[in-house]
Chains A and B, each alone.
Chain A
Amino acid sequence: MAVATAARTITIAEALNESIRLEMRADPKIVIMGEDIAGGAQVEHLEDDEAWGGVMGVTKGLVHEFGRERVLDTPISEAAFIGAAVGAAATGLRPIAELMFCGFLGSCLDSLLNQGSKLRYMFGGKAMVPVTIRTMIGGGFRAAAQHAQTLYPMFANIPGLKVVAPSNAADAKGLLTASIRDDDPVIFCEHITMYTMKGEVPGGEHIVPIGKAAIARPGSDVTLLGVSLTAVHALKAAESLAEEGIDAEVIDLRTVSPLDEETILASVQKTGRLVIVDEANPLCGLASHIAGMVASRGFHWLRAPVGMVTAPHSPVPFSPVLEDAYLPNPEKVVAAVKETCAHAS
């Protein structure tokens, strides 16, 4: 399959596929594995175009180009294959493994908590674990408590792991490429509702560095910070706030760990107000961490308490009315911004 050299509008799923395809062409040490990421293992002729390519179709066509040797369907044995990806990374491959839903972390936690994240440190810097774990996060699909979680704070809490979560198609391609090339283990979080979102994506090689937040919209009155889908919510909220005369600056965090503290602080210095939007649970979460960081490093710039729009401290409910109430959305962000802006400065 030819990959375009010029920018064009494609979906996030296509952008991810393109990144993997280009990297696998360039580096024979890259293998990709996961449940049904090719699909129909051992079924004749399925490689041609009929294979699943993962539950969301992100890896469709890869087995056709790279064969079953490099595109490996796995049994439902997360502990074994995520662990094997870590072991292969430590011994010279550069594997990409798909943990279908981040809730399945429960089935393979040891490989990430005690092995992949710590080998380099425990071995005195003498190991390198260049593995990328792609995993789905987020609600909105009515997938209920075990399949709709947003666990980047849990991953980020583990020293040794990098954690990335793009909000648009161009970043999806660029950050995945950077993750695959990175020499540390990277957890790459893909929001379940965003695969079909379209955006303009550069053709050919495209890299977005890990650890750098983006100013998705410049503004002067208040800083809105989101990541993955909540960055999209923040942008939508900023548009409706603009109609009411509030000029919001939107930071798309892009990487949860390492955290781009400087970009956040520079924005808060400019606006004096901060509202953080985070789909994860709040206790010991991303929003509270950033609020704490800003309180300790940028307290003097704050003109109002830091606003936080997060999920509540509960699992994700199934029923659509409940899930909608559970999740952050642009309306909740607008309300939080108004509250923050109502504080006298």
Chain B
Amino acid sequence: MNLSQDELRSMYRTMVSIRNFEETVKQAFAKGHIPGFVHLYVGEEAIATGVCTALRASDTITSTHRGHGHCIAKGCDMNSMMAEIYGKATGLCKGKGGSMHIADVGKGMLGANGIVGGGPPLACGAGLTSVVTGSGDVCACFFGDGACEQGTFHESANLAAIWNLPVIFVAENNGYAQSTPATYHCAIENIAERAASYGIPGAVVDGSDVFAVHEAAVEAVKRARAGQGPSLLECKTYRHHGHFEGDQQTYKDDLYKSVSQGKDSIRDFRALVTQHGWFTAEELDAIDREAEQAVEEALAFAESSPVPQVEEVTSDVYVSYP
């Protein structure tokens, strides 16, 4: 493995930050402190982490309704993220977007998305910008198994292929689209096989193995940066909580539940790096505490922040109007 200590540390910090952030959001939501819908990324941390650690700061990502993990992995500030989820003026989007539209364009995070299948065309656009400006940046496009059935995914994969765009399509296959199993909504078992119909590379990886995800992402990013076009990376994963908070999950069968419970990317990471003697358990515990503290701080920041001024209702609709 050619990852430095620093890279490993940062990977671990990202994963535990996401886990902590999401469990904190879950509790705050249960207490009625968070308005609207929230979709949690618990169980899928290794995907955003493995992919984003293969990117550089100027690269971009597109995300989904389940976007908090992608944000954290791309370096968004957790204080402003939590404030956004709370609908506060200090939020990343001034409280105008909320959980489903959380974004930080300056960080290359082109937005969570309330529209399933909304991301892939935007990712093609980011890829086109890179090609035309010669920036060499790539765009990682995250989307769920459910989104793979949208025309926008198929059209975008083909467009990226014929225009040779630097886009990495990352399918997060957690087995369900809301309550509908992927075995029903998808005609084939492996989404990655669809790559063949666009003439691009497709690979399946274990989405709870951050190293496997990272390695596959590095490969795809290398190709994209070298002008060799898009790739499709399917990460098999498990959603530990409901589709959204409040979902009773009666549709999850026992097999899914037991396999899902047995999958824990953070536990596996800890076991591996301590076995190899790269880190001690104490060092990792210290990172856990740092992450916990950072999330606690984010929560306090969100709770104590002011709500937006009502004038904001009509600002930002246009750059200039009339």
Q: Do A and B come from one complex?
A: yes
Q: How far is the CA of A51 from the CA of B184 in the complex (A)?
A: 15
Mark contacts of A49-74 with chain B using CB atoms, 8 A cut-off: 1 yes-contact digit, 0 otherwise.
01110010000000000000000011
Check A79 for interface membership: any CB of B closer than 8 A: yes
Please state if A40 and B313 are interface contacts (CB–CB under 8 Å). no
Please state if A75 and B177 are interface contacts (CB–CB under 8 Å). yes
Known A146-B100, A312-B314, A318-B96; judge A76-B177 contact (CB<8 A): yes
Mark contacts of A97-131 with chain B using CB atoms, 8 A cut-off: 1 yes-contact digit, 0 otherwise.
00000011011000000000000000000000000
Please state if B115 and A77 are interface contacts (CB–CB under 8 Å). no
Which one, B54-62, B145-153, B158-166, is touching chain A?
Answer: B145-153
Which one, A18-26, A231-239, A319-327, A331-339, is touching chain B?
Answer: A319-327
A231 CB to nearest B CB, Å: 23
- With a 10 A CB-CB cut-off, give which of B96, B113, B116, B177 has the most chain A CB atoms: B96
Please state if B149 and A75 are interface contacts (CB–CB under 8 Å). yes
Q: How far is the CA of A179 from the CA of B98 in the complex (A)?
A: 35
Q: How far is the CA of A107 from the CA of B113 in the complex (A)?
A: 14
> Contact partner of B185 among A55, A76, A147, CB < 8 A?
A76
Please state if B180 and A144 are interface contacts (CB–CB under 8 Å). no
User: What's the count of A-B pairs with C-beta under 8 Å?
Assistant: 149
Check A296 for interface membership: any CB of B closer than 8 A: no
Please state if B314 and A147 are interface contacts (CB–CB under 8 Å). no
Check A328 for interface membership: any CB of B closer than 8 A: no
Check A84 for interface membership: any CB of B closer than 8 A: no
Mark contacts of A126-153 with chain B using CB atoms, 8 A cut-off: 1 yes-contact digit, 0 otherwise.
0000000000000001111111000000
- Chain B residues, Cβ within 8 Å of A143: 36-37, 100, 114
> Contact partner of A318 among B98, B186, B253, CB < 8 A?
B98
B181 CB to nearest A CB, Å: 6
- Chain B residues, Cβ within 8 Å of A317: 95-96, 308, 312-313
Check B43 for interface membership: any CB of A closer than 8 A: no
Check A313 for interface membership: any CB of B closer than 8 A: yes
> Contact partner of A322 among B179, B183, B312, CB < 8 A?
B312
Mark contacts of B164-190 with chain A using CB atoms, 8 A cut-off: 1 yes-contact digit, 0 otherwise.
000000000000011111011110000
Q: How far is the CA of A146 from the CA of B95 in the complex (A)?
A: 15
Please state if A320 and B251 are interface contacts (CB–CB under 8 Å). no
Q: How far is the CA of A36 from the CA of B314 in the complex (A)?
A: 35
Q: How far is the CA of A145 from the CA of B116 in the complex (A)?
A: 14
Check A46 for interface membership: any CB of B closer than 8 A: yes
Q: Which B residue sits closest to A106, measured CB to CB?
A: B115
B307 CB to nearest A CB, Å: 5
Q: How far is the CA of A312 from the CA of B312 in the complex (A)?
A: 12
- With a 10 A CB-CB cut-off, give which of B36, B91, B97, B307 has the most chain A CB atoms: B36
Mark contacts of B86-98 with chain A using CB atoms, 8 A cut-off: 1 yes-contact digit, 0 otherwise.
0110010101111
> Contact partner of A321 among B177, B250, B308, CB < 8 A?
B308
Please state if A146 and B180 are interface contacts (CB–CB under 8 Å). no
Please state if B313 and A312 are interface contacts (CB–CB under 8 Å). yes
Known A36-B178, A143-B37, A315-B317; judge A79-B151 contact (CB<8 A): yes
Known A75-B146, A75-B149, A147-B100; judge A313-B314 contact (CB<8 A): yes
> Contact partner of A40 among B97, B100, B179, CB < 8 A?
B179
A to B CB contacts below 8 Å, 27 in the list: A36-B178, A40-B179, A40-B250, A43-B251, A43-B253, A50-B250, A52-B251, A73-B184, A75-B149, A76-B117, A76-B146, A76-B150, A79-B150, A80-B151, A141-B36, A143-B36, A143-B37, A144-B98, A146-B101, A146-B114, A147-B37, A315-B317, A318-B36, A319-B88, A320-B307, A322-B310, A322-B312
7 closest pairs, A vs B, by CB? A318-B98, A319-B87, A40-B251, A142-B35, A142-B36, A75-B149, A319-B95
Binding site for B on A (CB under 8 A): 35-36, 39-44, 46, 50-52, 55, 73-80, 103-104, 106-107, 141-147, 312-315, 317-322, 325-326
Binding site for A on B (CB under 8 A): 35-37, 87-88, 91, 93, 95-98, 100-101, 113-117, 146-147, 149-152, 177-181, 183-186, 250-251, 253, 307-308, 310, 312-314, 317
